[in-house]
Amino acid sequence: MTDIIIRKTGRAGHITLNRTKALNALTWDMCLAIEGALDDWRNDPDVALILIDGAGDRAFCSGGDIAEMYASGQRGDYDYGRRFWRDEYRLNAKIYNYDKPIVTFLHGFTMGGGVGVGCHGGHRIVCESSQIAMPECSIGLVPDIGGSLILAKAPGHCGEFLGLSGDRMDAGDAIYVGFADHYVPQEAWGDLKQALITSGESTVIEHHCQAGPPARLRAWQDEIDSVFAAGNLGDIYNAMPDAPGPAIAHVRKLMDRNAPLAMAVAAQIIQAARHSGGIEDALDREFRYTYRCVAQGDFIEGIRAAIIDRDRAPKWQHGSWGDVSDHDVAEMTRDLCKDALQWKENA
């Protein structure tokens, strides 16, 4: 069985992620295959739009396939992850800038690398099962795949709230903060896909949309902003009240489990994306961290605790948020110079 199904159907170029046992986790080869299809269809007059979905009932895409990154890092091979991220980030930028409509169907889990494929297009469909998150700080990574830009565009400081905690969004939250556009019950997806394939017109989506669930984050907005507008990681923690409301009580538990260094860098890159640059600049800042995270950061330990040993007890380099210095952050975010991302069509 192939990991990805790519075909032309009617007026659509149709891509289906097809690793159901792995929750459609994205491999390096899948990234390259998606990019190749987008290149082929860019000037194809028979393809009016792109449709991307995931096989199975549980996930659109649960993230990147990180087991090989762990194995290569254990061997001292840091180039594998760096090459993977270079190609993946080039794909993310291509989806963001693509000049034909891209419609994605985000059922179940859409996380990490799945956000990079599913949430940069112009028409992002969610349903009652959708669970979207950027949980990278829980494994010693930072919100990447251009996710720092989506987070930066969220209302108020929801971006910092979500990026530092990895909290999951349902359909209502995802639409509110800008990770999705339209709520369509999953039972209507078959009809909507057929309408897209037949017509080649993204405007048919509006005929299938319904009102989604209320956004929890909208109700929490003032409480979130009162803390996460503070600035760096230390300022955010210091702004948390002794008797927090529901938003901060919830997020504090999540953040206290995450890698302090990753959260400190995440706060910086989200704030930077809010004030400067587009997708390429956001990816460049993210790559500065991911380039270094296997050799210098907490990524290997995070994967060990979450995926390999599954003890959920990572031993981070920094015992708490107060142990992360400005120098530590600077070491992970300084310019890569000759090793920086190069925005070529092919690696």
Tokens 């700080």 appear where? Answer: 137
Q: Rounded CA gap, 217 and 161, in Å? A: 10
- What is d(CA 262, CA 162) in angstroms, rounded to the nearest whole number? 13
What gap in Å lies between CA 327 and CA 272, rounded to an integer? Answer: 17
Contact 36, 92 (CB under 8 A): no
CA 171 to chain CA mean position, Å: 15
Cα separation, 293 vs 287, whole angstroms: 9
Count Cα neighbours of 106 within 13 Å in the Cβ-side half-sphere. Answer: 37
Provide the terminal-to-terminal Cα distance of the chain, rounded to the nearest Å.
27
Mean pLDDT of the chain: 95
Separation between Cα atoms, residue 49 and residue 26, nearest integer Å? 22
Q: What is the 3-class SS of 92-110, one letter each residue?
A: HHHHHHCCCCEEEEECEEE
Residue 319 token pair:
């015992």
The pTM assigned to this predicted structure is: 0.95
Burial letters for 47-68: b for 16+ Cβ neighbours within 10 Å, e otherwise?
A: bbbbbbbbbbebbbbbbbbbee
pLDDT value at residue 66: 80
- pLDDT recorded at residue 75: 85
pLDDT at site 344 = 63
Spell out a b/e string for 189-224, using b for 16 or more CB atoms within 10 Å of the CB, else e.
beebbebbbeebebebbeebeeebeebbbeebbebb
> Using the 8-state DSSP alphabet, how is residue 182 labeled?
E
**Residue 26, number of CB atoms within 10 A of its CB:** 28
Tell me the per-residue pLDDT of 255-283, one tens digit each, with 9 for 90 and over: 999 999 999 999 999 999 998 879 999 99
HSE-CB of 291 using CA atoms within 13 angstroms: 20
Distance CA 207, CA 212 (A): 14
**pLDDT for 347:** 42
The DSSP result for 25-38, as a single string, is PBPHHHHHHHHHHH
Helix residue ranges, H only, the chain: 28-42, 67-74, 79-97, 113-118, 147-152, 158-165, 171-177, 189-199, 216-228, 233-239, 246-255, 260-275, 279-293, 299-303, 326-333
Q: How far apart are CA 93 and CA 87, in angstroms?
A: 10
CATH class of 4-339: alpha beta
Q: Please give the chain's pLDDT, 347 residues, in tens.
A: 699 999 999 999 999 999 999 999 999 999 999 999 999 999 999 999 999 999 999 999 999 878 778 888 788 888 888 999 999 999 999 999 999 999 999 999 999 999 999 999 999 999 999 999 999 999 999 999 999 999 999 999 999 999 999 999 999 999 999 999 999 999 999 999 999 999 999 999 999 999 989 999 999 999 999 999 988 999 999 999 999 999 999 999 999 999 999 999 999 999 999 988 799 999 999 999 999 998 888 999 999 999 889 999 999 999 999 999 999 999 999 999 999 998 765 44
- Could you state, in order of their start, the residue ranges of all structural domains in the chain? 4-339
Q: How far is CA 155 from CA 73, 220, 232, 347, in A?
A: 37, 11, 18, 35
| Alpha-carbon gap, residue 252 to 165, rounded angstroms | 8
